[in-house]
Structure 1
Amino acid sequence: MKTIIVCDAIHEAGLELLAKESDINVINAIKVPKNELLPLLADADVAITRSSTDVDDKFIHSAKKIKAIVRAGVGVDNVDINECSRRGIIVMNVPTANTIAAVELTMAHLLTAARSFVYAHNDLKQDRIWKREKWYGVELFGKKLGVIGFGNIGSRVAARAKAFGMEIIAYDPYINPAKVIDMGGEYTKNFDDILACDFITIHTPKNSETINMIDEAQIAKMKDGVRLINCARGGLYNEAALEAALKSGKVAFAGIDVFNKEPATNHPLLDLDNVSVTPHLGANTLESQKNIAIQAVEAAISAARGITYPNALNLPIKADDLPPYLEPYIELTSKISFLAAQLNKGVIKSVRLECEGEINEHKDSLITFAIVGALKEIAGEKINYVNAKFLADEKGIITEAHSAPESGYKSKITVKVATETDVISIGGTVFDEREQRIVDINGFKTDFKPKGKMIFFKNNDVPGVIAQVASILAKANINIADFRLGRGEGGSALAVILVDESVDKHTLEALNALETCIWAKYAVI
């Protein structure tokens, strides 16, 4: 049994998900005072935290068994990542669960920047003043929106702004320009093109490159009456420079959700009447809090089982040196190799990674994750991203990464795990930036998410097989969540059956006993 401790409040959906896992012990410390939390950490393998719990020296020293920290949210300012790395603790966050919430809040500030909505509202509702001529705004239609950072949030803001008839100009040196061009926007490598826009919104992480990215010099190049939005991170706009520009009228209006130091209850921007402000509400929707909890719990469960570490921030490869599109492939590689090892139990002889498309240039980084996933079944907690290659070499396991010929995918990875008796080959790709899919198994075409409890059933392709399988599962009170069927050329078929309940050995034996069955195997990711 692995133990996950929940240190801070998360949505009930996350707790319910934890309760369903029979191999996970849960310590619910949500209501435990922080001065009483440390002793409870001693038995934890993984901790889920939010901003209320500092993962500092005391926390790390008390958590003697801990292997991973999941920050249920984006920011990790309260986590000592360097010390965690020194101790071999992997730190993860949940960067995409609040995407839609942040996008829609950005749009609220964008519209307010155009129409001074909050001030007109206060005039009428609070002061009972009806003065229409006071509130002439501007239209979004036909205006240029400069988008700094065109990732999950920035690209979605652009799509919504385009629906208002805005012209989109995007600056992001880490994306393929086609991402902007394909949606009808203009991609630029010249930052001055952004500064010439009517509205500017920023959606970048906070790091040495982006702190004070908009300062006095950049504001001076902007057109008079520009309108600025920041719903990303405090400090991306130099706040003193922004205040001065708002007072002078150079910047007509600003929409700000984040501040350099929070809470910002005495910030000078609050005194200005051409600023709309919110107290860091980017993730504050019921839907996003549920998504954050579910994704954090799923990451914690995966880490506790040693399968994969979604959105890990202190991997042995430098994330800053890798393009954002690689992140889901890192996780997918671990999942696929872990699945292959479950379907091909035995003494592993080799782990081979094949990459095609633009992912190919990163095959030497990805092979580490393939090794960890494949060897997890036999090495358990002994294996991590630092010692993976060493352990494989020690066991005489051949590990290699190769280029694969193009097969029509923009990017695709295939992991082949060979034992003394068999070879299992599993291929996968990523759609729409983060949607992971397994698309083939030993030549059988398929399409399913690598997640959950799964039965793999290879059989002679004759009538009545599906009914027989369904009957056995029904008798075992196992609900079928999804059923994917791939057909081969030699008169055989491979079904991938996603189920809601665990499958015991008796049910698996009953499936293997069917006359049409070639083999039936069970795996969990």
Structure 2
Amino acid sequence: MLKYKIIVCDHIHNAGIEFLKKQNDIEMLDYSNLPKIELLSKIGDADVVITRSSTDIDNKFLQSAYNLKALVRAGVGVDNVDIESCSKRGIVVMNVPTANTIAAVELTMAHMINAVRNFPSANHQLKNEKIWKREDWYGTELKDKTLGIIGFGNIGSRVAARAKAFEMDIIAYDPYIKESIIIDSGVRVATSLDMILKCDIITIHTPKNTETKNIITKKEIDKMKDGVILINCARGGLYNETDILEAAKSKKIRWLGIDVFDKEPSNSNPLLSLDNIYVTPHIGANTLESQEKISIQAATIAAEAARGSSYPNALNLPIKENELPYFVKPYLELSQKIGFFISQISKGAIRTLNITCSGKIASYANSLATFGTLGVLKHSLGDSINYVNAMFVAKERGINININTKDGGASIYKNLITIEAASANNSISISGCVFDEDKLRIVDINGFSMDIEPLGKIVLFRNTDVPGVIGNIGKIMEKSNINIADFRLARNNNEALAMIIVDNNISNSTLDELSKIQACLSVNYVVI
């Protein structure tokens, strides 16, 4: 009987090991105790490997695993996996994104309760100092306090459900979730981050990306209540650590509950020195239940992938040269990039996606639509969105997807893909094509003709077409020490749209300065 070989590279809960041992068609080898250099000599004929964060899936690993068809990351993060190299080799990369949801939710609640009742400090005084001093430990109650939740996905929404049991007043901010979903949960909708900043307690549950990194800085802290409580059990770097340290020292922030840090391990972080900061060493997933669930799910996924029956939670799509015409593959990448571009400039939850494919690529419209939808959702959902679940998640979020095809005869472009995204507040349409077989280009943005590669750091500046605008933009960029690599300009009906490619990251303060130019109609920053 043919047996598929699954190799476990890192320690997982024994439940997953036992599951694999019981599969008659699978040979399971547990090499989690092997030194990594020895592991490379053992993985050559593996069909599937299961890893955690201790094994780097790099070119050396992939060259050694010459028979590898799939890889399962037993957890959420895939920072240690070279997904692009896996994709080029036809290796499916999968993770286990939801098994630790409840663990992360409950840790958030633990930090919140610790912050209002000072349990760790009271415990320390009584147990270690042998002091019985009740008057030192007057806390506050969660009841009737306003909780602000940034991010209302799997974890944020469940935190809200538990906070409701404490009779808290809850308000949530998530521009990528339909307002009706938040309202149906019995939670008030924040239409801007500023509304969250007025809350008594603030917790964050978002992926880490260009939009959410440093989402809380001194500027936001200054708008908060004196004595605010902040919680972060999501990702390090969402709160600016330098700024929250200073605010905690001054007691502007009364308590901080933190499980994640910018750099980990974080043994010498200055945040550890303050008495009003409760910390845990990134243990959001560290419950026996979640580790067991992660292990069983990872083992189940690995078995299914080995058999080729399904690839749950796939984070990539194998690129097989013999299955796609050469001209289609760059359009898949272009479609995803256009979607990702749109996601960063769209205002509000997207309700409709119109995806139109013209020319020969129209025969592959469904695949292009999947890549485009993935791009639209990737910015807000991070690793939880993939090629397998993109369409399902879009439908779940109430996004209506329309796929259209044209023969391309009326267009000046041989092949063209257009993605139009409509929200309650605005509509954005971007078209692109591929020149010389592999040169990806955006050729139209909302009726402005362009010719720009969707790559790098890009500022979109729309303005009334009057003299002096370019000069003013240049002065602000010079003042901010931003080097302009390229400047493309399009004009349409007394308006102009500039696409400014820059070498440096653009700060919110620079974007604010640009928005104050009198002729400015809108300004957006995109990183692709």
TM-score, normalized by the shorter chain, greater than 0.5: yes
Among residues 236, 255, 266, which one is paired with 1:234 in the alignment?
236
The 1:251/1:359 distance shift into structure 2, 3 A limit, reads closer
The 1:333/1:166 distance shift into structure 2, 3 A limit, reads closer
Q: Distance in 2 between matches of 1:147 and 1:320?
A: 25
Structure 1 contact 309–331 (Cα < 8 Å) conserved: no
Structure 1 contact 47–300 (Cα < 8 Å) conserved: yes
Among residues 73, 86, 103, which one is paired with 1:71 in the alignment?
73
Deviations 1:370-397 (A, max 9, x none): xxxxxxxxxxxxxxxxxxxxxxxxxxxx
Q: For residue 232 of structure 1, what is the amino acid of its counterpart?
A: A
State the Cα distance separating 1:357 from its structure 2 match. Answer: 10
Q: Tell me the equivalent position of 2:202.
A: 200
Structure 1 contact 7–47 (Cα < 8 Å) conserved: yes
Q: Tell me the equivalent position of 2:495.
A: none
State the Cα distance separating 1:135 from its structure 2 match. Answer: 1.9
Deviations 1:327-349 (A, max 9, x none): 69945999xxxxxxxxxxxxxxx
> Quick check: 1:49 aligned with 2:36?
no
- The alignment partner of 1:41 has SS state of coil
Q: Distance in 2 between matches of 1:3 and 1:116?
A: 51
Q: Distance in 1 between matches of 2:204 and 2:118?
A: 20
Q: Distance in 1 between matches of 2:11 and 2:241?
A: 32
Deviations 1:475-518 (A, max 9, x none): xxxxxxxxxxxxxxxxxxxxxxxxxxxxxxxxxxxxxxxxxxxx
Q: For residue 220 of structure 1, what is the amino acid of its counterpart?
A: D
Among residues 172, 175, 178, which one is paired with 2:177 in the alignment?
175
Q: Distance in 2 between matches of 1:297 and 1:332?
A: 23
Q: Distance in 2 between matches of 1:21 and 1:93?
A: 21
Q: Distance in 2 between matches of 1:174 and 1:66?
A: 36
Q: Tell me the equivalent position of 2:453.
A: none
Q: Distance in 1 between matches of 2:266 and 2:140?
A: 29
Q: Distance in 2 between matches of 1:333 and 1:236?
A: 28
Among residues 254, 259, 262, which one is paired with 1:260 in the alignment?
262
> Quick check: 1:321 aligned with 2:323?
no
Q: Distance in 1 between matches of 2:386 and 2:241?
A: 34
- The alignment partner of 2:42 has SS state of helix
Q: Distance in 2 between matches of 1:10 and 1:258?
A: 22
Structure 1 contact 195–223 (Cα < 8 Å) conserved: yes
Q: For residue 156 of structure 1, what is the amino acid of its counterpart?
A: R
Deviations 1:116-141 (A, max 9, x none): 21111111111112222222222111
Q: Distance in 2 between matches of 1:287 and 1:188?
A: 34
Q: Distance in 2 between matches of 1:191 and 1:332?
A: 27
- The alignment partner of 1:228 has SS state of strand
Structure 2 contact 315–387 (Cα < 8 Å) conserved: no
The 1:273/1:297 distance shift into structure 2, 3 A limit, reads same
Q: For residue 377 of structure 2, what is the amino acid of its counterpart?
A: L
Among residues 198, 211, 223, which one is paired with 2:225 in the alignment?
223
Q: Distance in 2 between matches of 1:212 and 1:360?
A: 32
The 1:362/1:329 distance shift into structure 2, 3 A limit, reads farther
Alignment of 1:354-365 (within 5 A): 358=398, 361=401
Q: Distance in 2 between matches of 1:301 and 1:331?
A: 19
Alignment of 1:75-474 (within 5 A): 75-315=77-317, 317=371, 319-322=374-377, 330=388, 358=398, 361=401
Q: For residue 121 of structure 2, what is the amino acid of its counterpart?
A: Y
State the Cα distance separating 1:2 from its structure 2 match. Answer: 2.2
Q: For residue 321 of structure 1, what is the amino acid of its counterpart?
A: V
Structure 1 contact 2–25 (Cα < 8 Å) conserved: yes
The 1:115/1:356 distance shift into structure 2, 3 A limit, reads closer
Q: For residue 24 of structure 1, what is the amino acid of its counterpart?
A: I
Deviations 1:389-442 (A, max 9, x none): xxxxxxxxxxxxxxxxxxxxxxxxxxxxxxxxxxxxxxxxxxxxxxxxxxxxxx
Q: Distance in 2 between matches of 1:314 and 1:110?
A: 36
Q: Distance in 2 between matches of 1:102 and 1:362?
A: 36
Q: For residue 301 of structure 2, what is the amino acid of its counterpart?
A: A
Q: Distance in 1 between matches of 2:289 and 2:167?
A: 28
- The alignment partner of 1:40 has SS state of coil
Q: Distance in 2 between matches of 1:176 and 1:307?
A: 34
Q: Distance in 1 between matches of 2:227 and 2:73?
A: 39
State the Cα distance separating 1:356 from its structure 2 match. Answer: 11
The 1:84/1:166 distance shift into structure 2, 3 A limit, reads same
Deviations 1:277-325 (A, max 9, x none): 1111111111000000011111112222223222222246263423869
The 1:301/1:155 distance shift into structure 2, 3 A limit, reads same
Q: Distance in 2 between matches of 1:211 and 1:262?
A: 16
Q: Distance in 1 between matches of 2:236 and 2:228?
A: 20
State the Cα distance separating 1:23 from its structure 2 match. Answer: 2.1
Q: Distance in 1 between matches of 2:396 and 2:265?
A: 47
Q: Identity of counterpart residues, as a percentage? A: 60
- The alignment partner of 2:106 has SS state of helix
Q: Distance in 2 between matches of 1:356 and 1:6?
A: 34
Q: Tell me the equivalent position of 2:348.
A: none
Q: Distance in 1 between matches of 2:85 and 2:273?
A: 40
Aligned length in residues: 345
Structure 2 contact 172–182 (Cα < 8 Å) conserved: yes
The 1:107/1:244 distance shift into structure 2, 3 A limit, reads same
Structure 2 contact 377–390 (Cα < 8 Å) conserved: no
